[in-house]
Amino acid sequence: MTHDNPAGSGPRLRGVLDTLPAYKPGRPAAAGSGAPSYKLSSNENPYPPLPGVLEKVASAAASFNRYPDMSCGELTAELAERFGVPPEHVATGTGSVGVAQSLLQATSGPGDEVVYAWRSFEAYPIITQISGATSVQVPLLPDEGHDLDAMAAAITERTRLVFVCNPNNPTGTAVRRDALVRFLDRVPSDVLVVLDEAYKEFVRDPEIPDGIELYRDRPNVAVLRTFSKAYGLAGLRVGFAVAHEPVAEALRKTAVPFGVSQLAQDAAVASLRSEDALLERVDALVVERTRVVDALRAQGWTVPETQANFVWLRLGARTLEFAAACGAAGVTVRPFDGEGCRVTIGEKEANDLFLDVASRLV
């Protein structure tokens, strides 16, 4: 038998893994000092599960010796009805990041290009690289928003997929309807545009479009949504795409079989049926967002317009020092070294603590 591996060097792994950027999860709240500490580093929902959802999950837990419904039938039907789309256009997955990875597997491989704004969601470069494709990162504008003209210009005959993160993680900025429609009209019909709307429920600017309206007459547009943020199910891992065939079908082919647990499916359905309670909580977080942004600006900070459940402070070389000071005061935030900090809108006490630290660091 012949092989290229030197003896004892183990199985040959793909070289692409050597240069993969690491996904850095938000650090947990500091423990141990006895003082209150809060996690504002992962854009989670500070509220516990919606009424009735915990009970649903507890009863589903009694049968987790069984595989879940692989087709996510009940959830798919509920989503299709809610958005007025055919059930065949809904594809579920293990969080929207799982669905995004399936979209890459379905469209892109070595020699292909994937275009997205940068900085944006940190999973994009990782899942692109895993697919074997090449990232084409288009710098954000000075106002921290997407540069859609430059993104359109970056599309070549090698481009297979474009992410538009709306609102953008970590800057919170959002692309408006006219600009997005103009952009979509410029993208060739054989390039898939993925509108990542993980924070959709927090959007209050009426000029920011609902991707599901834009996808309807555009076969090359897919919309990503998640139950992790507004719905508060981050730990259960369930998200979905709305896309035309054959994209949605390709997602079903590339998804991990039985990836979405029955607990997650039942919790998602129950959460969709608790819409009033959901909207109340999201509204309360939006009120807190306005309060935090206004207070930061009054302190003298430059804060970009945010439509998500977080705020962005561009701190440059001061980033790590700022994050450390927040951590020492009991709030963990998400630093991007050399760039800035993303701070999730949490419970009022957490936001107050953060504002207090920020006031001392202006």
Binding residues (CB under 6 A) for ligand PLP: these are 43, 95-97, 121, 165, 169, 196, 198, 226, 228, 234, 239
Please report how close the Cβ of residue 299 comes to ligand PLP at its closest, in angstroms: 26
Please report how close the Cβ of residue 155 comes to ligand PLP at its closest, in angstroms: 21
Please report how close the Cβ of residue 240 comes to ligand PLP at its closest, in angstroms: 9
User: Which neighbouring-strand residues pair with 135?
Assistant: 114
Which residue has its beta carbon closest to ligand PLP? 95
Residue closer to ligand PLP by CB (options 166, 274) is 166
Residue closer to ligand PLP by CB (options 144, 295) is 144
Please report how close the Cβ of residue 278 comes to ligand PLP at its closest, in angstroms: 16
Please report how close the Cβ of residue 255 comes to ligand PLP at its closest, in angstroms: 13
Residue closer to ligand PLP by CB (options 26, 355) is 26
Residue closer to ligand PLP by CB (options 85, 164) is 164
> What CA–CA distance (Å, rounded) separates 348 from 284?
10
> What CA–CA distance (Å, rounded) separates 253 from 249?
6
Please report how close the Cβ of residue 285 comes to ligand PLP at its closest, in angstroms: 15
Residue closer to ligand PLP by CB (options 78, 196) is 196
CA proximity to 49, closest of 230, 207, 216, 181 = 230
Residue closer to ligand PLP by CB (options 270, 295) is 270
The DSSP bridge pattern shows strands 192-196 and 221-226 to be parallel
Residue closer to ligand PLP by CB (options 199, 322) is 199
Please report how close the Cβ of residue 10 comes to ligand PLP at its closest, in angstroms: 31
